[in-house]
Structures are given as C-alpha cells and as structure tokens.
C-alpha cells in the first residue's frame, strides 16, 4: 500500500522513517582531522551515501571528494556550508566536524533546514549556547546525534549495560585518568580556550560523559585544580591548561574522580576508566568486571567486539534516522555532558566549589 504525500506528512516520525528504502544522502562538513576520520567510517556504513563534502580549505575538500571517489561514489564539493545546503537539495543528513566555536551557529542552521544532524562534541561553549542548540534540536524534524562515540564503543557500551543493569551494585565512584602527551601542534584553535572551551570541554568531556551516564544523573557540585606548568606559552599564545584534576559529587554519595594531563613522557600511556560499585568494579575500556567476592574476573560479553567506536556511532545515527529511534547521545544528554565539563572548568578557573544549580541548566 502506498501513502499519499499528505498522509505521509501526517504519519508519526517513526512510520515516516521506516518507509525509507534508499540510502541516506549525507554531506560531510569540516573534513580536517576528525572529519576525515568520520568520513572514512561513514563510507563503510552500508545505508549511507556521501553526496557532498564541504570545508573552508579547498585542498581538504578535494581530498575528501577523492576519498568518496575511491569508494565508488561521487560527492559535490563546496567551501561554503550555506551554499551547499541551498544548492544540493537532496542532502538529508549532515555529519559536522568543524571547530568547537562554530557548533552553536552551524548546528542550529542545519537543524532549522530540516536536516538530520550528526554534530561533533562539545554541544557548544556556554550553557546559553547549549540550551539554544537543544531548543533547535527539539523543534527540528530530524534526528540530532552528538559525537560522543565512546557510548557506542563495543567494550564500553557492554560495560555500561552491565552497570546500568545494576550488576556492579550501587555506583560509588567513577575513577578516570586521561594522561598523554600534548595536543597536536598543527591544530591552532585547540590551544585557544575561547575557541575550544579549554581541555575539560574539548577533551576530558568523553570520559566525563561516560561517568555521568554510569551514575545516571548530573552531579550536585564539583571542585578541582589545574593550570599550565609544563607547556607555558607553548605554543606561543597558548591559553589552554596542560593538567587538571576534578572531583564531582552526586546526590546519594557517588563521586567522579578524574585526572587529565599532558605530562606523559614518550612511550607512556595512561588512560583508565573504572566504575566502582558496591558489588565490584568495572573496567570500561576492557569490558571486565571484578566482583568483590572473588579474585575471578568476568570478561563481559561484547557484541560487535573490536569494531571501531566511530563506525558504530555513525551506523547508529543512520539507523536512528531510518527507524526514528532516539539516539543514545541525543541533545539532552549532550547538554548534560557539556555542562558537566563547563562546570568543572569554572571550578578550576574560579578555585571554588561550583554547583549544578548555579549553572542554570
């Protein structure tokens, strides 16, 4: 049975979404460091077809178009997002990976034009801007998903399902470390806190998002300390920190304890994401559960084990557009993740306890 256009428009979003049989026509916008990686994985998603690519820099546009061509496709090329949206009417979805300071403006523009949008994190750089994006997303007809791809990482997702099912007991503490070398020198805006919101909001946000998800609610207050002690004015003009530590407290007693620095010498690596519950501890990245009652560790069952988190996240986005399913990393959850990061940054800058209530979410 075929539907008339009027009946189609009147049908619920889920029904409309389920009726599609063609590939989702996607545009990749911002094809630098992250955007190229997203594009590489998008080209592997069976139900997606990249029809346009856009970046301010023509050589990046050409490189992206070649990547599409190498997979047997063909993408129209643009250096202006609005021109692309005006001219290529067939675009149904956009994957956006432009710098953080552009997110508010571009997210809202794309959503207002009725496109489905996969937008990189953070949601925006102020609470007010985050709320403006959420408002646009909630008024939009399409799916809005934010680039917290670790939620779709097979190991971390399996670990989170274990925790959310209560199998680790009551969550007591989330302990995280993100220790490494300094930020990539070839991306200048990473070093300017007015453009990236500083390193809690631009980098630490991924692990903080997982931890907030594990606890199941936003924190009540936080405090911390941080600054720049190794990479002082390096590169010249740097305004972002090179280290910080944060503690978040939740109603009911749970805590996040997170340390992030760029002090690791070559060859060292220190990334750890562990959730300690009343029944035992879960290592998120390893998908392992260590019960309190035995030395026997449980390796959790991991569907799609080994698959790349970015591929999984993009595949989920395309599936969400098809089925009308709510994304795991939707506007509201991205708002909370971003405000957790902004709150931590505020606590460090102002050297005081900052409450969730004062963030005005």
Segment contacting ligand NAD (CB under 6 A): 44-52, 95-103, 242-250, 343-351? 95-103
Minimum Å gap between C-beta 37 and ligand NAD is: 8
> What does the per-residue mask of binding to ligand NAD show for 295-324, with x meaning CB under 6 A?
------------------------------
Inter-residue contact 295 to 212 (CB < 8 Å): no
One residue of 98, 255, 259, 329 binding ligand NAD per CB under 6 A: 98
Residue 99 is a binding residue for ligand NAD (CB under 6 A): yes
Q: Can you give the three-state secondary structure of 6-53, one letter per residue? A: HHHHHCCHHHHHHCCCCCEEEEEECCCHHHHHHHHHHCCCCCEEEEEE
Angle at 130 between CA 129 and CA 131, to 5 degrees: 90
Residue 202 is a binding residue for ligand NAD (CB under 6 A): yes
Residue 32 is a binding residue for ligand NAD (CB under 6 A): yes
Q: How far apart are CA 68 and CA 31, in angstroms?
A: 12
Residue 90 CA: distances (Å) to CA of 114, 222, 338: 12, 46, 32
Cβ burial of 291 (10 Å; 0-12, 13-18, 19+) is middle
Segment contacting ligand NAD (CB under 6 A): 18-26, 55-63, 248-256, 314-322? 55-63
The residues with which 248 forms a beta bridge, in sequence order, are: 222, 256
One residue of 147, 204, 226, 280 binding ligand NAD per CB under 6 A: 147
> Where does 182-277 show beta strands of DSSP type E?
221-227, 243-249, 255-261, 270-277
Residue 271 is a binding residue for ligand NAD (CB under 6 A): no
| Cβ-closest position to ligand NAD | 32
> Residue 149 or residue 320: which is nearer to ligand NAD going by CB?
149
One residue of 85, 95, 100, 254 binding ligand NAD per CB under 6 A: 100
> Residue 190 or residue 248: which is nearer to ligand NAD going by CB?
190
Residue 81 is a binding residue for ligand NAD (CB under 6 A): yes
> Residue 259 or residue 338: which is nearer to ligand NAD going by CB?
338
Cβ burial of 7 (10 Å; 0-12, 13-18, 19+) is exposed
Six-digit token pair at 337? 């993740």
Segment contacting ligand NAD (CB under 6 A): 5-13, 52-60, 155-163, 167-175? 52-60
Residue 33 is a binding residue for ligand NAD (CB under 6 A): yes
Provide φ and ψ at 276, rounded to 5°.
-100, 120
Residue 102 is a binding residue for ligand NAD (CB under 6 A): yes
> Residue 14 or residue 56: which is nearer to ligand NAD going by CB?
56
Minimum Å gap between C-beta 152 and ligand NAD is: 11
Minimum Å gap between C-beta 186 and ligand NAD is: 8
Residue 175 is a binding residue for ligand NAD (CB under 6 A): no
CA atoms within 13 A on the CB side of 97: 21
Closest CA to 156 of 53, 342, 6, 308: 308
> Residue 203 or residue 255: which is nearer to ligand NAD going by CB?
203
Residue 259 CA: distances (Å) to CA of 125, 217, 225: 21, 21, 10
Closest CA to 321 of 4, 18, 2, 70: 18
Please tell me the count of residues contacting ligand NAD according to CB under 6 A: 24
One residue of 39, 42, 53, 54 binding ligand NAD per CB under 6 A: 54
Cβ burial of 240 (10 Å; 0-12, 13-18, 19+) is buried
> Residue 92 or residue 120: which is nearer to ligand NAD going by CB?
120
Residue 121 is a binding residue for ligand NAD (CB under 6 A): yes
Provide φ and ψ at 303, rounded to 5°.
-60, 145
At how many degrees (to 10) do helices 331-350 and 205-215 cross? Answer: 110
Residues that bind ligand NAD (CB under 6 A): 29-35, 54-57, 60, 81, 97-100, 102, 120-121, 147, 149, 187, 202
């Amino acid at each position: 049975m075929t539907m008339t256009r009027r009946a189609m428009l009147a049908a619920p979003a889920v029904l409309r979404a389920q009726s599609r049989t063609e590939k989702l026509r996607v545009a990749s916008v911002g094809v630098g460091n992250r955007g190229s990686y997203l594009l590489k994985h998008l080209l592997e998603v069976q139900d997606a077809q990249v029809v346009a690519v856009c970046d301010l820099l023509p050589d990046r546009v050409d490189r992206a178009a070649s990547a599409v061509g190498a997979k047997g496709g063909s993408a129209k090329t643009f250096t202006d997002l609005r021109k692309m949206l005006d001219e290529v009417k067939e675009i149904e979805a956009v994957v956006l990976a432009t710098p953080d300071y552009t997110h508010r403006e571009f997210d809202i523009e794309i959503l207002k034009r009725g496109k489905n949008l996969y937008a990189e994190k953070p949601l925006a750089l102020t609470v007010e801007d985050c709320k403006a994006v959420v408002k646009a997303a909630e008024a939009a007809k399409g799916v809005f998903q934010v680039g917290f791809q670790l939620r779709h990482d097979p190991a971390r997702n399996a670990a989170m399902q274990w925790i959310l099912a209560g199998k680790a007991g009551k969550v007591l503490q989330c302990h995280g470390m993100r220790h490494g070398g300094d930020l990539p020198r070839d991306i200048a805006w990473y070093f300017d806190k007015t453009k990236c919101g500083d390193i809690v909001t631009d980098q630490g946000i991924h692990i903080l998002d997982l931890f907030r998800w594990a606890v199941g609610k936003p924190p009540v207050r936080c405090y911390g300390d941080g600054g720049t002690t190794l990479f002082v004015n390096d590169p010249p003009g740097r305004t972002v920190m090179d280290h910080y530590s944060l503690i978040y407290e939740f109603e009911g007693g749970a805590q996040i304890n997170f340390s992030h620095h760029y002090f690791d010498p070559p060859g060292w690596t220190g990334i750890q994401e562990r959730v300690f519950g009343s029944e035992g501890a879960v290592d998120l990245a390893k998908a392992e559960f260590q019960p309190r009652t035995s030395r026997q560790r449980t390796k959790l069952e991991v569907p799609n084990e080994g698959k790349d988190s970015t591929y999984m996240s993009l595949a989920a986005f395309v599936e969400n557009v098809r089925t009308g399913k709510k994304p795991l990393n939707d506007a509201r959850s991205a708002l909370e993740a971003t405000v957790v990061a902004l709150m931590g940054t505020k606590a460090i800058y102002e050297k005081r306890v900052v409450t969730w209530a004062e963030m005005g979410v």
